[in-house]
């Protein structure tokens, strides 16, 4: 076992969204999804063997510097230990971006956690198996194991890299409109939609079609085609959420104003489209040539607290921590 390792992973944003499970127990999504991994935002997870006082035998987990008993992390560690021999660990994970507010912190967090444990315990799991473990913890995390454009599809439900991050160098402007933690987790929200939205069956059917269309657009580097399918997938996911009883509304007023602003920019000739996840932040995907204008316009919008200009990033990477302790 290594003394200590550090894994660095980036969040990803889905252009064809995942919202709803086919199998809750095994965390199998009801639809395929397609995402881009971002550079710039990172989850950095350090792991070493736990040296608790009094010979304790449990893990110590810190998230952004504070001790946590996060049930998802606990459940993941219990299920992982049923298959692999893992000693009590000291886990210290830090995000350089807001946690649990629609910026996919669980995706980068679990991709980093699985990869760090694999390396620290010298399990030699390979990327596909790490992606399967990450998916069991949080399905979007399967995709953050890889960089660039990434798919997550059955029957194996390990993510697969589709296009490297430098093969189609898009930019993403992230407009932060709130740093509050979201009121309802994605896991609970998507289960509510499955059970209590009349649109769920239509969502599943449409997403299968969107996935095929998005694959073709990425293959052809067809920006307008990808824009059309990505905005449709985003708006249909939010329509599904709104139609859930009781309705799930993750947007604030600034989110809506940013959509209008991005449409204005597009009508004025900028190459840009929007996508929004389970939170109020707006992500504007654009060509590098349009990035400055999009960033300027979103920064100037009342209610936008901050913007980040990101590029597409690589998959998770792990290194031993020298000078640990
Ligand atoms: C996605 N989201 O495809 C979609 C779009 C949010 C909106 O995947 O229950 O944290 O842990 O598998 O992966 C967020 O859901 O849910 C998500 P679980 P997860 O990126």
Contact assessment for residue 236 and residue 201, using Cβ atoms and an 8 Å cutoff:
no
State which ligand 1 atom lies nearest to the alpha carbon of 141: 13
Residue-wise pLDDT for 179-213, tens only, equals 887 778 899 999 999 999 999 999 999 999 999 99
- Indicate the range of 18-32, 64-78, 88-102, 271-285 predicted with least confidence: 88-102
The gap from C-alpha 254 to its chain's centroid, in whole angstroms, comes to: 22
Contact assessment for residue 121 and residue 67, using Cβ atoms and an 8 Å cutoff:
no
What's the gap in Å between 303 CA and the centre of ligand 1?
25
C-alpha distances out from residue 200 to 169, 193, 229, Å: 34, 7, 18
Question: Which segments within the chain are labelled E, that is strand?
Answer: 4-9, 12-16, 21-23, 28-29, 33-37, 43-49, 60-63, 66-67, 89-95, 149-152, 159-163, 171-176, 272-275, 282-286, 306-311, 317-320
The gap from C-alpha 256 to its chain's centroid, in whole angstroms, comes to: 22
Ligand 1 contacts CB of residue 276 (under 6 A)? no
Q: Tell me what pLDDT residue 234 has.
A: 98
State which ligand 1 atom lies nearest to the alpha carbon of 277: 7
Residues 15 and 36: their CA atoms lie apart, in Å, by: 7
Q: Tell me what pLDDT residue 74 has.
A: 95
Ligand 1 contacts CB of residue 159 (under 6 A)? no
Ligand 1 contacts CB of residue 139 (under 6 A)? yes
Q: Which of 99, 111, 134, 278 to mutate to test the pocket of ligand 1 (most atoms within 8 A of CB)?
A: 278
Identify the band that residue 105 occupies on the pLDDT scale cut at 50, 70 and 90: confident
Ligand 1 contacts CB of residue 186 (under 6 A)? yes
Q: Tell me what pLDDT residue 101 has.
A: 62
- Indicate the range of 40-54, 114-128, 205-219, 287-301 predicted with least confidence: 40-54
Local structure of residue 171 (DSSP, 8 states): E
Phi, psi of 286, deg, nearest 5: -150, 170
Ligand 1 contacts CB of residue 101 (under 6 A)? no
Q: Which residue has a Cα nearest atom 11 of ligand 1?
A: 138
Query: Six-digit token pair at 87?
Result: 């000693």
β-strand pairing of 60-63 with 306-311: unpaired
Average pLDDT value for the chain: 94
Contact assessment for residue 15 and residue 34, using Cβ atoms and an 8 Å cutoff:
yes
**pTM of the predicted structure, to 2 decimals:** 0.95
C-alpha distances out from residue 129 to 106, 156, 276, Å: 18, 10, 29
Residues 3 and 217: their CA atoms lie apart, in Å, by: 45
pLDDT(249) > 90: yes
Partners of residue 23 on adjacent β-strands? 28
State which ligand 1 atom lies nearest to the alpha carbon of 187: 9
Residues 125 and 117: their CA atoms lie apart, in Å, by: 10
State which ligand 1 atom lies nearest to the alpha carbon of 18: 3
Ligand 1 contacts CB of residue 31 (under 6 A)? no
Contact assessment for residue 19 and residue 203, using Cβ atoms and an 8 Å cutoff:
yes
Instruction: Give the whole-number percent of the chain exceeding pLDDT 90.
Output: 88
């Amino acid at each position: 076992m290594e003394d200590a390792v550090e894994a660095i992973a980036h969040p990803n944003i889905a252009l064809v969204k995942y919202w709803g499970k086919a199998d809750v127990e095994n965390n199998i999504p009801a639809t395929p999804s397609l995402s881009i991994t971002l550079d710039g935002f990172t989850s950095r997870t350090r792991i070493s063997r736990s040296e608790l006082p009094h010979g304790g035998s449990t893990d110590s987990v810190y998230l952004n510097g504070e001790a946590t008993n996060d049930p998802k992390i606990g459940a993941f560690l219990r299920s992982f230990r049923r298959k692999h021999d893992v000693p009590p660990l000291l886990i210290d994970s830090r995000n350089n971006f807001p946690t649990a507010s629609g910026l996919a912190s669980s995706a980068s967090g679990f991709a980093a956690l699985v990869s760090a444990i694999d390396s620290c315990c010298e399990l030699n799991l390979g990327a596909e198996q790490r992606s399967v473990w990450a998916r069991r913890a949080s399905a979007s995390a399967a995709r953050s194991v890889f960089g660039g454009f990434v798919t997550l599809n059955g029957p194996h439900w390990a993510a697969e890299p589709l296009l490297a991050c430098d093969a189609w160098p898009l930019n993403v402007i992230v407009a932060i409109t709130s740093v509050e933690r979201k009121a309802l987790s994605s896991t609970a929200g998507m289960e509510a939609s499955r059970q209590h939205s009349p649109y769920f069956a239509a969502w599943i059917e449409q997403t299968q079609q969107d996935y095929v269309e998005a694959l073709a657009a990425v293959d052809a580097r067809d920006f307008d085609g990808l824009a059309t399918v990505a905005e449709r997938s985003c708006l249909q996911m939010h329509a599904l959420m709104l139609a859930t009883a009781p309705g799930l509304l993750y947007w604030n007023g600034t989110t809506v104003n940013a959509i209008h602003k991005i449409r204005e920019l597009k009508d004025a000739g900028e190459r840009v489209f929007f996508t929004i996840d389970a939170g109020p932040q707006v992500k504007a995907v654009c060509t590098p040539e349009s990035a400055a204008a999009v960033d300027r316009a979103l920064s100037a919008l009342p209610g936008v607290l901050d913007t980040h200009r990101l590029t597409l990033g690589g998959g998770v990477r792990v290194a031993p921590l020298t000078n640990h302790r």
